[in-house]
Amino acid sequence: MATVTALDSRKKKAPETQATPAETVERRTLRNLSPADGEPLASVPITTPDEVRAAVARARRAQSAWARMPIEERAERILRFRDAIVENADRLVDVLVRETGKPRNEALLHEVLVVADLASYFAHNAARILAPQNISLHFLVHRKSYVHYAPKGVIGVISPWNFPFAIPMGDVIPALLAGNAVIVKPSEVTPLIALEAKKVFDSTGLPEDLFQVITGDGATGQALIESGIQKLIFTGGVATGKRVAAACGAQLVPCIMELGGKAPLLALSDCDVERTARAIVYGGFCNSGQACISVERVYAHRSIHDELLRRVKELVGELKQGDASKSFVDIGSIIFPKQIETAEKLIADAVAKGAEVVAGGERVHRAGNYFQPTVLAECHHGMDVMREEIFGPIVPIQRIDSDEEAIALANDSHLGLNAYVFSKSRERALRVAEKIEAGSVVVNDVMLNYGACEAPFGGLKESGFGRVHGDDSLRDMCDKRHVNYGRVPMPARDPLWFPYSSTSYSIFSKGLEVLFHGAGVIQRIVKRMP
Ligand code: NAD
């Protein structure tokens, strides 16, 4: 439904001003700039609340036919969509790089591949996961129960800018497989890749209204929540998440909240220092540190701290940074200038409180938004950089003396999305991992758990609630409906029903005693026996 005006980038400055007066009044638009060079990228419409409601009504009509289709057929069609994504991978990567400034390798692996793989897994397993489940009843033994999974209807997805393909499409595909229609409200900062995904979807012949993209800002997201959807999957910041959860509460719309992260990396005394150093650099700086599971703080044991820091510094010195649309750089640009200001503020606070800048520390003065990959040493929890979400290319490191201290510091956070533990002893690492308050803990690796689509992903504390991925997430796209029926025909006059009497009361009362204190009752009866 949304149309996009590509800007002849370097010449036209503000397309809105070129619209006819009538259009200017009726249609507000979003104008996006390239993070890599600051040039205009495109202009997209802000969808109005009326249009949002109309989109939901169309989605509902498309959904009823889709839901009646056998699940095997839905899966087969989703695999066609998966194939189209793979065939269009280069085009999708181009749009992702242009719009986010991330390196091509990351756009391909962290976005396109993750979605194609997730589509395969859920399409091949949906029939198994959503098969009706029998429930054996321990008490009502004359009855039987099962649950079956019915699609909810129209599911809304509100997504952020940092993984603007993998995050929404990772929700869209399971929602469709489960028999729902889906409406995505992409971030106002990165609407183009969602529109591109919609084009690919339409090219497969799937019903057009089944998956729709409504471009716009926070108000459009709010309108989506109020438009009669049956569920919302929200991914974004904590502050926005609280507002969105409240709006969902007001409408009684069930929601999943995927919010911020502050992933600690615990480098235990027996870690492989070289692998840990490389993991810190990759986990801290891929996507310019703009991932909810980025390494946001490191706790390094005193015995390996100095060697680890030295290697991290060397490795950071080898990183290539620049415009990812022009060459194969390791680090691209930052999404918008505000993220740079946040980085500068956090570094200034840390340095004022005793941190040492080991690498980077400054914005790069060139067109576009760039910040040097930065490593801070001698950090502690009195610094904002150790407690607030950074969402930029900064890795602060703190020296620790024991596993217990590392665990306590890792848990000293209002967020609990992801964590990493590095140790050569699997037993020790797992012992530590289980004590960390996070939705996921990864041992001796970084960033990859989002790609393990069989496993649940989501946060504790203010990182949110509910889970995406994992078999249960597909079931959660449905209403779980319980059906109960008799094993044997029952008499017309059921002894549990009316009329009540003192006789039936005393029979039930004895029954209660036998049921829950059976052994004692039997003993008393035996004692009374001659
Ligand atoms: P954001 O909260 O600013 O925006 C997220 C989305 O919410 C956008 O589409 C925005 O338009 C929409 N929105 C804003 N106000 C709204 C309102 N009142 N009602 C409905 N929708 C509204 O987040 P962002 O800056 O795009 O993304 C960065 C944040 O996302 C970080 O905090 C990051 O940790 C988090 N994130 C979390 C996960 C996860 O899986 N837990 C993944 C990626 C990003």
Digit-coded pLDDT (tens) for 224-272: 999 999 999 999 999 999 999 999 999 999 999 999 999 999 999 999 9
Q: For residue 361, give the CATH number of its domain.
A: 3.40.309.10
Residue 490 lies in a domain: no
Residue with CA nearest ligand 1 atom 39: 258
Give the chain's domain count: 3
Q: How far is CA 140 from the centre of its chain?
A: 40
Q: How far is CA 2 from the centre of its chain?
A: 24
Residue 493 lies in a domain: no
Please tell me the predicted confidence (pLDDT) of residue 528: 73
- From 248, 292, 379, 478, the catalytic residue: 292
Same domain, yes or no: 344 and 205: no
Please tell me the predicted confidence (pLDDT) of residue 499: 96
Please give the Cα distance from 119 to 98 (Å, whole number): 25
Residue with CA nearest ligand 1 atom 4: 236
Cis peptide before 499 (omega within 30 of 0): yes
Residue 391 lies in a domain: yes
Residue 12 lies in a domain: no
Nearest atom in ligand 1 to 187's CA: 9
236 C-alpha to ligand 1 centroid (Å): 2
What token pair was written down for 459?
């946060």
Judge whether 171 and 470 are in contact, CB under 8 Å: no
Q: For residue 107, give the CATH number of its domain.
A: 3.40.605.10
Q: Report angle CA 179, 183, 185 to the nearest 5 degrees.
A: 150
Please tell me the predicted confidence (pLDDT) of residue 527: 72
Same domain, yes or no: 117 and 255: yes
Same domain, yes or no: 345 and 231: no
Instruction: Report the amino acid identity of residue 451.
Output: G
Which residue in 79, 178, 180, 77 sits closest to 127, CA to CA?
A: 178
Q: Does ligand 1 have an atom closer than 6 angstroms to the CB of 387?
A: no
166 C-alpha to ligand 1 centroid (Å): 14
Which of these three, 397, 423, 458, is where a domain ends? 458
Same domain, yes or no: 442 and 454: yes
Longest dimension (CA), the chain: 107
Same domain, yes or no: 392 and 413: yes
Q: How many CA atoms lie within 13 A of 212 on its CB side?
A: 28
Please tell me the predicted confidence (pLDDT) of residue 117: 98
Question: Which residue ranges in the chain fall short of pLDDT 70?
Answer: 1-26, 521-523, 525-526, 529-530
Residue 398 lies in a domain: yes
Judge whether 179 and 478 are in contact, CB under 8 Å: yes
Same domain, yes or no: 238 and 337: no
User: Quick check: is 258 catalytic?
Assistant: yes
Same domain, yes or no: 296 and 237: no
Please tell me the predicted confidence (pLDDT) of residue 317: 98
Please tell me the predicted confidence (pLDDT) of residue 518: 78
Q: Does ligand 1 have an atom closer than 6 angstroms to the CB of 258?
A: yes
DSSP state of 191: -
pTM of the predicted protein model: 0.94
Same domain, yes or no: 417 and 312: yes
Residue 39 lies in a domain: no
97 C-alpha to ligand 1 centroid (Å): 20
Please tell me the predicted confidence (pLDDT) of residue 204: 97
Residue 463 lies in a domain: no
Same domain, yes or no: 326 and 428: yes
SS3 label, residue 357: strand
Same domain, yes or no: 271 and 417: yes
Percent of the chain with pLDDT over 70: 94
Q: In what order do the strands lie in the sheet with 133-135?
A: 133-135, 143-151, 478-486
Instruction: Report the amino acid identity of residue 501.
Output: S
Q: Does ligand 1 have an atom closer than 6 angstroms to the CB of 292?
A: yes
Count of H helices and E strands in the chain?
Answer: 17, 21
Residue 144 lies in a domain: yes
Same domain, yes or no: 332 and 195: no
Domain that holds residue 514: 501-530
139 C-alpha to ligand 1 centroid (Å): 46
Nearest atom in ligand 1 to 459's CA: 41
Same domain, yes or no: 388 and 450: yes
Instruction: Report the amino acid identity of residue 340.
Output: I
164 C-alpha to ligand 1 centroid (Å): 11
User: Quick check: is 341 catalytic?
Assistant: no
Tell me the C-alpha to C-alpha distance, in Å, between residue 331 and each of 62, 153, 450. 42, 41, 20
pLDDT in tens, 439-451: 999 999 999 999 9
